[in-house]
């Protein structure tokens, strides 16, 4: 089954949709917490349900190494493995082409395991088959994600190879209950972004990810490149900005028509003592909060803000109590989910531009 998109409301280029897959439906804009190894750090599937998450993103590279895609498949796929009834999206390993710098040729990439040093080859075909074993609702094609800044010839090579690999991935894809998304590359070069989007759309996918952004460039460089890609992508499928989760970046991307996001930002900041709040970042490691009885974010209804003070949470951080990371992650994930819900409500109400200005005033 290909995904279907029902357009619920538009406000400028921003849109609120309901996306239906073989598993069910989810509203957009949508944020996917990152559960690299089958779990969001410090959280369980029950926590994600309680926080109102519709989605979780899992990492193909890590899961194919530990515990192995065949093991996950034998245990019923990621949904049964994690006891998670919501949607799952698996990335392809393309980000690891950027972060781990494997040996890459036209056929694929050879990675060295971060766990035991063993060598593993990932191709467009094996990435599809691995993700079929993992059983995600949405899988991504294998792509080339160059770091930025990069010369035009490097970006062009990534566009060419990503397009070739996308065609091979589509030819390999077999599971009718799994959607396959193509990926647009091109760095910050607007012409290459448009070219990559056209070439990927010509192959035809159930949805499209825009990758290779938020990898070293400024937001001012990112947005024109994103706009160039969006102009070439079909509007009747989901459009997903990969790896972006900062509030300003998300609201600007929604203004351009993006539907979906993922990012490690909420959980990573939480582990280092920083909360996302209506007033901006709150660094609880600061000594000024040692005797602060106020809730972390008075406007937030999450269980952390409803029960504990800034002073108590700072104490947990100072003594390295493991519960500190959990409590802060609960808040940050809920805060980002609430933000995309506010974006959706504003689009429906026709007040998105007002919300955009409000977010940028704090986070811009």
Residue 120, helix vs strand vs coil:
strand
Name the token pair of 150. 């990069």
Name the token pair of 215. 């990898």
Q: Please say whether the dihedral angle defined by the alpha carbons of residues 155, 157, 161 and 166, taken in this order, is positive or negative.
A: positive
Only one residue has tokens 């947005």, namely: 223
Beta bridge partners, 112, equal 119
For β-strands 14-20 and 25-28, DSSP reports them as antiparallel
350-354, long-range: CB < 8 A, 24+ apart: 350/9, 350/11, 351/11, 352/11, 352/12, 352/14, 352/254, 352/255, 353/11, 353/12
The per-residue DSSP string of 14-51 comes to EEEEEEE-SS-EEEESEEEEB-TTSS-TT--HHHHHHH
Task: Evaluate whether 23 touches 226 at the Cβ level (below 8 Å).
Answer: no
The set of catalytic residues is 91, 262
| Maximal C-alpha separation, the chain | 61
Distance separating alpha carbons of residues 124 and 354, to the nearest angstrom? 43
- Within 13 Å, how many C-alpha atoms sit on residue 134's CB side? 33
Distance separating alpha carbons of residues 57 and 28, to the nearest angstrom? 16
């Amino acid at each position: 089954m290909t995904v279907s998109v029902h357009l619920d409301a538009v406000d400028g280029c921003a849109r609120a949709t309901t996306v239906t897959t073989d598993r069910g439906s989810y509203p957009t804009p949508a944020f996917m917490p990152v559960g690299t190894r089958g779990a969001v750090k410090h959280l369980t599937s029950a926590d994600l349900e309680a926080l109102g998450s519709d989605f979780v993103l899992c990492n193909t590279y890590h899961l194919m190494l530990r515990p192995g895609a065949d093991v996950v498949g034998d245990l019923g796929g990621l949904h049964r493995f994690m006891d998670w009834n919501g949607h799952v999206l698996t990335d392809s390993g393309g980000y690891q082409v950027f972060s781990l710098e494997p040996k890459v040729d036209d056929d694929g990439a050879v990675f060295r395991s971060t766990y035991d040093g063993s060598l593993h080859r990932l191709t467009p075909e094996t990435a599809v088959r691995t993700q079929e074993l993992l059983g995600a609702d949405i899988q991504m094609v294998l792509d080339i994600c160059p770091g930025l800044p990069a010369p035009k010839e490097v970006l062009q090579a990534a566009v060419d190879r990503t397009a070739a690999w996308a065609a091979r991935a589509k030819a390999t894809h077999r599971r009718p209950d799994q959607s396959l998304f193509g990926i647009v590359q091109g760095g910050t070069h607007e012409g290459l972004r448009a070219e990559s989007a056209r070439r990927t759309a010509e192959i035809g996918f159930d949805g499209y990810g825009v990758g290779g952004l938020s990898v070293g460039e400024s937001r001012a460089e990112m947005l024109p490149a994103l706009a160039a890609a969006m102009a070439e992508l079909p509007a009747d499928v989901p459009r997903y900005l990969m790896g972006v989760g900062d509030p300003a970046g998300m609201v600007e991307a929604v203004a351009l028509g993006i539907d979906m996001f993922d990012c490690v930002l909420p959980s990573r900041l939480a582990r280092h003592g920083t909360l996302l709040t209506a007033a901006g970042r709150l660094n609880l490691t600061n000594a000024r909060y040692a005797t602060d009885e106020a809730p972390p974010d008075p406007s937030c209804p999450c269980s952390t803000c409803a029960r504990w003070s800034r002073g108590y949470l700072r104490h947990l951080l100072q003594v390295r109590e493991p519960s500190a990371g959990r409590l802060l992650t609960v808040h940050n994930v809920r805060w980002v989910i609430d933000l995309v819900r506010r974006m959706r409500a504003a689009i429906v109400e026709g007040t998105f531009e007002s919300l955009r200005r409000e977010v940028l005033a704090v986070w811009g």
